Structure formats: structure tokens, C-alpha cells
């Protein structure tokens, strides 16, 4: 089968589209999906650079997000049948350990992501446990394959951050850095669904205009405006209740400067660097909560798919590329030009 593979780490120069062996028939409890579209995530760029602590087996089939048609099912599979259109949840757990039995799949010691630890979705076929597929909801107008592929990773991640971890409530103020990225976009929309007031930042005025169209209440251009000062003025020095910071070193100090008393900072990434500092006295005096979050569990996934079925959280697709042009798609992501998800049709 044709697939987008990484032949070595060190960046996008080592990305190629080539023939690889297909995955074979699905084992017990597994499902083989004929992928129709796969969406890109920042994770794909980190994987291509080379992640510490990940054992690479080259060629590595890239891609975490995807959607397609169930092509074959293994013994004992009851969730789906061949011919079903499905969304793929990229986070694969063992579904047997203590964390999994407690419903906390992203804490599973054997947790892995498609396209990082396991063969990914940028291929004609992918094998996943039946727990990792969900029937595509019927919407009007119908979800396109590109929209379906763009849904899972960022919506699930943002849901866990905003709902489960930060527990955002109606009337609270939530600031999200870096609108344009898929998680930030989904986080803003989920905070709005919960009745929060949302502030978003971007370096692009065009992206901020789109943010307002999608429901953001206040926008700041972090290239031309001093966001922490602006937010303190906007909130009469009170600060915000929740900051969503997936930027890391570049924004951390400003995130804390505008975090109000009793505020929560939630992070699922550190795109500008991982080493952040904090004054512990301010942490206890203002009774802040600093929390990490990654991906989501099966209950959260079922909930975001249910919301999608109600017409909420429909993904925003930036641009669709054919598989042959996957390198150009990854380069667009690397330059940060996208608004919404970049999708590759298989």
C-alpha cells in the first residue's frame, strides 16, 4: 500500500511517499480501516524532528488523525462492521491496566499514538483496536472526509483540558494563546459552549477576524500588542480565571501575569520550549492551579463524538492536499500558516 513514511529523524527532508507492506488482517479485537483522509498535527513535526524516549522503527508510517471505512474486523469485534464509516481516535491504550479499568486511558503506561508509537493514518490502511473507532455521525450537510479526519485529536485534547481538567464554568473568563492551531481553536469553541467569555491571541489579524466569527469575545494580536497588560486592563486588574497555554517558554510569564486569584493554567504542549519558571510564592499566595493534560479517555471521546452528532464542534478545515503533496502540507504546518486543520486525502 502507499503511505507517507519517515525514513530517519531530523526533519521533513526524511518524509517520503512510498510503497510499504499492508498491515495484514486485523487480530482479535482489532479493526482495519481503509483511510479516506488524515489530518496533520504538530505532533507529526515533532516526530519528524525526533522525539526523545520514542523507539523509532523505520520506515515509520506517519499520521495520527484519520477517518475512513471499516474494511475488515477481527474476532470478537462488536462496535463496528465492514462498510461502516468511522472516525479514528489516535490514542491507543492497552485497555487492561489499572488506569484503563479506572477509565483513565491517557495515563496508561502502554499508551501510544498512531504515527508516533504505532503505524499511523497517512496510509491506505491502518489497524486499530475497536475501542479506537467511532461511527461517523450523520450531519446535514454531511461531514466530509476531510472534516471527519480533522476532528479527533484536537477536539478530544481540548475537551479534556477545558471540561475535565480546568472545569470551566459559565461566566468565567478563559484566555487561549495562539488561535489558528487546532487545539486552541477547539478550546475556544468548547469554552464558549460552556458559557465562558473567551479571549484569544494570534500573530495574524486575519486569524483573529476568523476567531471572532467563530465566537471569540475579545482578540489580541500578540505580535503587536502587550497581551498581559491588555488583559489586566480589560479585567480591571482582576485577571482571567483560566489560561490555556500550549506555547511554553514564549508565553508562560505572561500567562502567569494575567492569571487571576484562584486561577488555573492548563497546558498540553510547549511549542516554543519546555523549560518554564515560576515564583512559588505567587503560586501559593494566589492559590493557582497549574495542570497538565494530554489527549482524553474513552468517555470523553464518546462525548465529543456525541456533540459532533448534535452539530457542535464541527471541525474547521484549512486546506486539503493529495497524499503525493504531503511534504508541502507538512511545510505549511511548520510555517504556522494554517487556520484550522490541514488534511491529506488518501
Q: Which residues bind Zn ion (CB under 5 A)?
A: 93-94, 97, 100, 108
CB 79, min distance to Zn ion, A:
18
Q: Which is nearer to Zn ion, 251 or 293 (CB)?
A: 293
Q: Which residues contact 215 (CB under 8 A, 6 or more apart)?
A: 188, 189, 192, 198
Of 108 and 265, the one with the shorter C-beta distance to Zn ion is 108
Q: Cα 212–218–219 angle (5° rounding)?
A: 75
Contact 344, 324 (CB under 8 A): no
Q: From the CB of 91, what's the least distance to Zn ion, in Å? A: 11
Q: Which is nearer to Zn ion, 36 or 117 (CB)?
A: 117
Q: How far is the CB of 96 from Zn ion (least distance, A)?
A: 6
- Alpha-carbon distance 231 to 258, whole Å? 7
Measuring CA to CA, which residue among 59, 60, 65 is closest to residue 35? Answer: 65
CB atoms under 10 Å from CB of 71, counted, come to: 18
| Nearest approach, Cβ of residue 97 and Zn ion (Å) | 3
Q: Are strands 133-135 and 85-88 parallel, antiparallel or unpaired?
A: antiparallel
The C-alpha atoms of residue 68 and residue 33 are separated, in whole angstroms, by 6
Cβ pair 345, 323 in contact under 8 A: yes
Give me the residue whose beta carbon is nearest to Zn ion: 108
Q: Cα dihedral angle (290, 295, 300, 301), rounded to 10 degrees?
A: 160
Q: Judged by CB, which is closer to Zn ion: 108, or 150? A: 108
**Is the CB of 108 or the CB of 268 nearer to Zn ion?**
108
Write down the least CB distance from residue 164 to Zn ion, Å.
Answer: 18
Name which of 94 and 217 has its Cβ closer to Zn ion.
94
Minimum CB distance to Zn ion, residue 40 (Å): 27
| HSE-CB for 42 with a 13 A CA cutoff | 19
Judged by beta carbon, residue 36 or residue 105, the one nearer Zn ion is 105
Q: Residue 259's closest CA among 222, 297, 299, 232?
A: 232
Least distance in angstroms from the C-beta of 128 to Zn ion: 15
Amino acid at each position: 500500500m502507499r503511505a507517507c513514511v519517515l525514513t530517519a529523524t531530523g526533519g521533513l527532508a526524511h518524509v517520503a511517499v512510498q510503497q510499504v507492506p499492508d498491515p495484514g488482517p486485523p487480530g482479535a479485537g482489532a479493526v482495519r480501516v481503509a483511510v479516506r483522509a488524515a489530518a496533520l498535527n504538530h505532533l507529526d513535526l515533532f516526530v519528524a524532528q525526533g522525539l526523545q524516549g520514542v523507539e523509532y522503527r523505520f520506515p515509520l508510517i506517519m499520521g495520527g488523525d484519520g477517518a475512513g471505512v471499516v474494511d475488515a474486523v477481527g474476532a470478537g469485534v462488536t462496535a463496528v462492521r465492514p462498510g461502516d464509516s468511522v472516525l479514528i481516535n489516535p490514542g491507543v491504550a492497552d485497555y487492561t491496566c489499572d488506569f484503563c479499568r479506572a477509565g483513565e486511558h491517557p495515563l496508561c503506561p502502554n499508551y501510544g499514538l498512531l504515527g508516533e508509537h504505532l503505524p499511523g493514518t497517512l496510509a491506505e490502511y491502518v489497524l486499530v483496536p475497536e475501542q479506537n473507532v467511532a461511527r461517523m455521525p450523520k450531519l446535514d450537510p454531511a461531514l466530509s472526509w476531510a472534516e471527519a479526519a480533522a476532528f479527533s485529536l484536537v477536539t478530544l485534547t481540548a475537551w479534556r483540558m477545558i471540561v475535565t481538567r480546568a472545569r470551566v464554568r459559565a461566566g468565567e473568563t478563559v484566555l487561549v494563546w495562539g488561535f489558528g492551531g487546532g487545539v486552541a481553536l477547539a478550546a475556544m469553541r468548547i469554552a464558549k459552549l460552556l458559557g465562558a467569555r473567551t479571549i484569544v491571541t494570534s500573530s495574524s489579524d486575519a486569524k483573529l477576524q476568523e476567531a471572532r466569527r467563530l465566537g471569540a469575545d475579545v482578540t489580541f494580536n500578540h505580535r503587536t500588542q502587550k497581551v498581559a497588560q491588555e488583559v489586566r486592563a480589560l479585567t480591571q486588574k482582576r485577571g482571567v480565571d483560566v489560561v490555556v497555554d500550549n506555547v511554553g517558554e514564549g508565553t508562560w510569564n505572561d500567562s502567569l501575569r494575567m492569571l487571576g486569584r484562584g486561577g488555573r493554567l492548563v497546558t498540553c504542549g510547549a511549542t516554543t520550549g519546555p523549560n518554564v519558571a515560576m515564583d512559588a510564592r505567587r503560586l501559593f499566595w494566589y492559590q493557582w492551579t497549574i495542570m497538565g493534560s494530554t489527549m482524553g479517555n474513552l468517555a470523553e471521546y464518546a462525548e465529543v463524538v456525541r456533540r459532533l452528532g448534535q452539530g457542535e464542534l464541527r471541525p474547521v478545515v484549512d486546506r486539503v492536499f493529495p497524499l503525493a503533496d504531503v511534504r508541502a502540507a507538512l511545510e505549511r504546518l511548520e510555517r504556522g500558516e494554517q487556520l484550522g486543520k490541514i488534511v491529506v486525502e488518501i
